[in-house]
Amino acid sequence: MIRKILLLLVLLAGTGLTAQDVMTPKLLWKLGRVSLEDVSADGKSFLYGVTRYRIDSNNAQRDLYLLSTEGGEPQRLTNLDGRVSGAQFLGNKVGYTYQGQFYQINRDGTGRKALTDIEGGISGAKAYPQKNGSITILFTKKFKTRRNTQDLYPGLPKAEVRIIDDLMYRHWDQWDDYKSSHLCLARYGDQPVENFQDLMENEPYDTPVPPFGGPAAYTLSPDGRYVVYESKKLTGREFSEQTNSQLYLVDLQTGQTELLTEDLEGYDKQPHFSPDGEKLAFLSMATNGYESDVNDLLIMDMETREVRRVLREAGRYDELTFHALAWKDQDELIAGVPYRGSNQLFRVDLSQKSADLEQITSGPHNYNHFEYHNGSLLVNRQDMNHANEVYRVDLKRGEAHQLTTVNNDIYSSLNKSRVESRTIRTSDGKEMQTWVIYPPNFDPEKKYPTLLYCQGGPQAMVSQFYSFRWNFQLMAAQGYIVVAPNRRGLPGFGRQWNEAISGDWGGQAMEDYLSAIDALAQEPYVDKENLGCVGASYGGYSVYMLAGIHEGRFSSFISHCGLFNLESWYLATEEMWFANKDLGGPFWEEDNRETYERFDPKEYVDNWDTPMLVFHGGRDYRVPENQGMEAFNAAQLQDVPSKFVYFPNEGHWILSPQNGLIWHDQFFKWLDKWLR
């Protein structure tokens, strides 16, 4: 027995883990980040990627694995410097993108062969084997479509200046590069492809719609004749003020392009042909300029162009919204739905006159990206105690079976948090779902400092997500109770609840936050003398706002990339549709004056008297750096204890490992200083 115990201690020492460990920032960065890629046509195997970050070199490697849908030992297919992406089955082989070209390998990882050799590289490749043995490859490629300074002044090649006469000169974290991302098509026979067809030739537009779109923005029909892609064919100020992306169909035989969604006003995205090619499913928002509108599932008959609106047919438009879809057969789809604090899977039956929706999965988990083939439904699943792993879901019973175990060794050695869903009564008498995350080995006889987490978006549900920065497991592991309310203005609780935030940023949502922390403060194990408030983006705005109206509740605030001065923010941000929808429009218009006066954090800054930590990124053009600087300066000039942590090369998020470790170090040092 003694020898067995000694052996166990040696093994634990070798992994750097003990049975009493809790999550730490360094351990968080050691986790393999798992993502499902594709399921084979016979439904018997699947591909997934694992990204591992290297702290010393401050970069990452992403490799590809193959595994049976029944489980077992995975087959590692790649071991390459950098990241492999876009993996998919190509019959009995596997394809993927690496360093700007598309490759093919055998299912045992051997026989690597380049299918493309395209100058300048490609991205977002999707390959479709054809009956004649060829492979049709869709991909995107950047083309220069606008004149830059060197074009205007060719004799001054070292000049460093931008000459700007329209909006959208920068977006999220990048300045305009004078190029457009076009959808292209190539056909592989037996030699690497060098030539291709630009399906958007000479157009100054993009697909996918920047900045976050991916290969889900385009698809090929089962017969190989038609391509459908998403694009927002606007530029400059028009682009900045509208969300009206459209779907376009290209007939590869005639070369003609047809606008499919001319009568639809908002975002139209994620086109998917049915298995027989007779229908096109896609997600669509009804309102132009409203990026958080209900995502309805639309089904277009490709012969008549008639459209069915699934949520409206099913009588659930005011209740649900979609975020993903996949065809099961020509009369049934599987859809991802944000639902009451988690992401779940639903079945969509089109066989009846009115579409019918049935929930497949349930429980405190997020079922995110999924793939379906021949009876096998596989999905990325996560919760507040576990990062993504791939699960197989039983379509009849909704039960989930874990297939990948990339992080099991780490999690099995951790004391985890208890996650509780509470219903809290708001100030206006509504019921609000709130997550409460308790420290490992929670003792109700003790008192714990407690954090109110303010969600960003503003319309992004507090679900069972596993963030690698705003990680509730990590916060709780440092001895903090975390209170994370699904306050007014979030999806998953009906359209009315979601829309309540627009035009009321600093109103009922702030009351919801205070209701949540006040309710938890009544618990004997909450140290009401040591309450903190943290958040990013709109959550960072909420921190600044609450700092001026909290009436002594909190002992510390932390804001990351928050909006502090709505007037200066309005004139420095880039996506004007967002500001116009949520704030009503410019501050100089009389109808909007009340919004800017009542809901602008700077208007309450004279009430600030509580320590404030401010994070901001220099490449955040969504919420530009002046917002963090103004907030920090306001605190400093009023002798409020404060600190400004500035990342010059990060955007709205912290993406590099070493910066991430510093972020967490500063975050917890600040909390420990003011809440202990």
Domain boundaries, the chain: 415-674
* CA 166 vs CA 163, 243, 452: distances in Å: 10, 18, 41
Q: Can you name the residues that pair with 389 across neighbouring β-strands?
A: 381
Look at residue 263 and give its three-state secondary structure.
Answer: coil
Burial class (CB in 10 A: 0-12, 13-18, 19+), 286: middle
Structure tokens at 462: 């507090």
Q: Which DSSP helix (H) or strand (E) runs through 453?
A: strand 448-454
Task: Write down the pLDDT at residue 20.
Answer: 57
Q: Could you tell me what percent of the chain has a pLDDT over 70? A: 97
Check: CB of residue 64 under 8 Å from CB of residue 95: no
Q: Where are the alpha helices (DSSP H) in 93-199?
A: 149-152
If we measure between CA atoms, which residue out of 618, 509, 641, 626 comes closest to residue 565? 626
556-560 and 526-536 strand pairing: parallel
pLDDT of residue 482: 98
- Do 112 and 96 form a contact (C-beta atoms < 8 A)? no
Residues 6 or more apart whose Cβ sits within 8 Å of residue 213: 207, 230, 269
Q: Quick one: DSSP state of residue 215?
A: G
**Do the Cβ atoms of 275 and 254 come closer than 8 Å?**
no
C-alpha–C-alpha distance, residues 86 and 94, integer Å: 10
> Which entry of 365, 369, 550, 652 is annotated as an active-site residue?
652
Residues across the chain: 676
Task: Please pick, among 537, 542, 555, 556, the residue that the annotation labels catalytic.
Answer: 537
Phi, psi of 353 (to 5 degrees): -60, -40
Cβ 357 vs Cβ 347: under 8 Å: yes
> By CB neighbour count within 10 A (0-12 exposed, 13-18 middle, 19+ buried), where does 356 fall?
middle
Question: Residue 5: which pLDDT band, with cuts at 50, 70 and 90?
Answer: very low
What 3-state DSSP class applies to 216?
helix
Q: Which residues pair with 533 in a beta bridge?
A: 452, 557
Q: Which two tokens stand for residue 327?
A: 């065809």
User: Tens digit of pLDDT for each residue in 57-116?
Assistant: 999 999 999 999 999 999 999 999 999 999 999 999 999 999 999 999 999 999 999 999
pLDDT of 539 above 50: yes
Looking at the predicted structure, is the pLDDT value of residue 418 above 90? yes
Mind listing the pLDDT tens digit for each residue in 260-306?
A: 999 999 999 999 999 999 999 999 999 999 999 999 999 999 999 99
Among 85, 268, 620, 642, the active-site one is: 620
Mean pLDDT in residue range 592-621: 97
Residues 6+ apart with CB under 8 A from 536: 456, 470, 559, 560, 561, 562, 615
Long-range Cβ contact pairs of 17-22 (< 8 A, separation 24 or more): 17/409, 17/410, 17/413, 17/414, 18/413, 19/413, 20/415, 21/413, 21/414, 21/415, 22/414, 22/415, 22/440, 22/477, 22/478
Residue 318's pLDDT is 98
Mean pLDDT of 380-385: 98
DSSP secondary structure letters along 583-631: H-S-TTSGGGHHHHHHS-GGGGGGG--S-EEEEEETT-SSS-THHHHHH
Alpha-carbon gap, residue 342 to 361, rounded angstroms: 10
pLDDT of 242 higher than 50: yes
Q: At what angle do helices 538-549 and 508-521 cross, to 10 degrees?
A: 70
Which residues, 6 or more positions from 240, have their beta carbon under 8 angstroms from its beta carbon? 167, 168, 574, 575, 576, 577
Cis link prior to 458 (omega < 30° from 0)? yes
323 classed as catalytic: no
% of the chain residues with pLDDT over 90: 96
Decide: helix, strand or coil at residue 581.
helix
pLDDT in tens, 348-357: 999 999 999 9
* Tens-digit pLDDT profile for residues 309-340: 999 999 999 999 999 999 999 999 999 999 99
Indicate if 652 belongs to the active site: yes
Asked about 413 being catalytic, the answer comes back as no
Cα separation, 471 vs 47, whole angstroms: 27
Fold classification of 415-674 is: Rossmann fold (3.40.50)
| pLDDT score of 4 more than 50 | no
Query: pLDDT digit string (tens) for 552-580?
Result: 999 999 999 999 999 999 999 999 999 99
Could you tell me where the beta strands, DSSP code E, fall in 206-274? 218-220, 226-231, 246-251, 257-259, 268-273
**Per-residue pLDDT at 1 exceeds 50:** no
Cis ω before 449 (30° cut-off from 0): no
* pLDDT bucket at 10, cuts 50 / 70 / 90: very low
Mean pLDDT of the chain: 96
8 Å CB contact between 582 and 489: no
Q: What is the pLDDT of residues 390-407, one digit of tens each?
A: 999 999 999 999 999 999
Beta strands 93-98 and 101-106, pairing class: antiparallel
User: What are the strands of the beta sheet with 526-536, ordered from one edge?
Assistant: 418-425, 431-438, 481-485, 448-454, 526-536, 556-560, 612-617, 642-647
Other CB atoms within 10 A of residue 334 CB: 21
Identify which of 36, 250, 214 has the alpha carbon closest to the alpha carbon of residue 126.
Answer: 214
For residues 299 and 204, give the distance between their C-alpha atoms in angstroms, rounded to a whole number.
29
Euclidean distance between the first and the last CA atom of the chain, given in angstroms as a whole number: 42
| Residues sharing a CB contact under 8 Å with residue 316, sequence separation 6 or more, in sequence order | 357
**Which helix (H) or strand (E) element contains residue 410?**
helix 408-411
Q: 21 is written with which tokens?
A: 């460990």
Place of tokens 């709505």: 566
Q: Name 531's Cβ contacts closer than 8 Å, sequence gap at least 6.
A: 449, 450, 451, 452, 517, 521, 553, 554, 555, 675
Residues in contact with 396: Cβ distance below 8 Å, sequence separation at least 6, in sequence order: none
Q: Which stretches within 16-156 are classed as H helix?
A: 25-30, 149-152
Give the residue among 467, 463, 465, 455 at the shortest CA–CA distance from 505. 455
> Which H helix or E strand runs over 516?
helix 508-521
How many Cα neighbours within 13 Å face the side chain of 326? 19
Question: Could you tell me if 555 and 531 are in contact, meaning their C-beta atoms sit under 8 angstroms apart?
Answer: yes
